[in-house]
């Protein structure tokens, strides 16, 4: 397995409850390295573009409002098999279905306010990383 990078967001429900450090500790304990990180206020256009694949879904407008409701921490995580590994560490979208020990089981408030985003494929990871980070901001 090769070293890989994935894109991650600590969502507004996580920053509001001061969970940045606790969530990063889970990543680090499980072998993912935070190689880029910044705290931003996502604009409506950025959120709409980022979640564009969901624009016909009933939850889209609420999701955009949620993602722009407070600061987020955008990150690049690096490690062996990082995309799939992060999806495992995050747990299911709905915290009610998330496995014990996953970030969403530990911290998520609801199916919407579920604390973290993680890329679902290496192809999307590359697109999402390039959307938020310049190459020089990523230090592996």
Annotation: binding site for ATP: 11, 59, 87, 93, 104, 114
Closest CA to 89 of 24, 17, 27, 22: 27
> With the C-alpha atoms ordered 110, 112, 113, 116, is the resulting torsion angle positive or negative?
positive
Q: Which residues make beta-bridge pairs with 69?
A: none
Q: Is residue 39 classed as helix, strand or coil in its secondary structure?
A: strand
Interactions with ligand UDP, residue window 106-125 (CB under 6 A) = 111-112, 114, 117, 120
> Total residues contacting ligand UDP (rule CB under 6 A)?
8
Select which of 26, 117, 129, 132 is catalytic. Answer: 117
- Rounded CA separation 9/68 (Å): 12
Active site residue 54: no
* Residue nearer to ligand UDP on the CB measure, 43 or 93: 93
* Residue nearer to ligand UDP on the CB measure, 105 or 137: 105
Q: How far is the CB of 109 from ligand UDP (least distance, A)?
A: 10
* Residue nearer to ligand UDP on the CB measure, 38 or 54: 54
In this structure, the number of other CB atoms found within 10 A of the CB of residue 68 comes to 17
Interactions with ligand UDP, residue window 61-90 (CB under 6 A) = 63
CA dihedral 29, 32, 35, 39 (to 10 degrees): -70
Residues catalogued as catalytic: 117
Kindly list the residues in this chain that would bind ligand UDP in the complex (CB under 6 A).
Answer: 59, 63, 93, 111-112, 114, 117, 120
């Amino acid at each position: 397995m090769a070293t890989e990078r994935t894109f991650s967001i600590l969502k507004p429900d996580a920053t509001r409850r001061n969970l940045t450090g606790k969530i990063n500790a889970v990543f680090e304990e499980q072998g993912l390295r935070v190689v880029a990180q910044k705290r931003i206020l996502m604009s409506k256009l950025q959120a709409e573009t980022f979640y564009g694949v969901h624009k016909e879904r009933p939850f889209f407008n609420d999701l955009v409002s949620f993602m722009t409701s407070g600061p987020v921490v955008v990150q690049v995580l690096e490690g062996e098999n990082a995309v799939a590994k992060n999806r495992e560490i995050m747990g299911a979208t709905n915290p009610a279905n998330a496995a014990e020990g996953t970030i969403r089981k530990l911290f998520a408030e609801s199916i919407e306010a579920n604390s973290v985003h993680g890329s679902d494929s290496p192809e999307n990871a590359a697109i999402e990383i390039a959307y938020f980070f310049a190459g020089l901001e990523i230090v592996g």
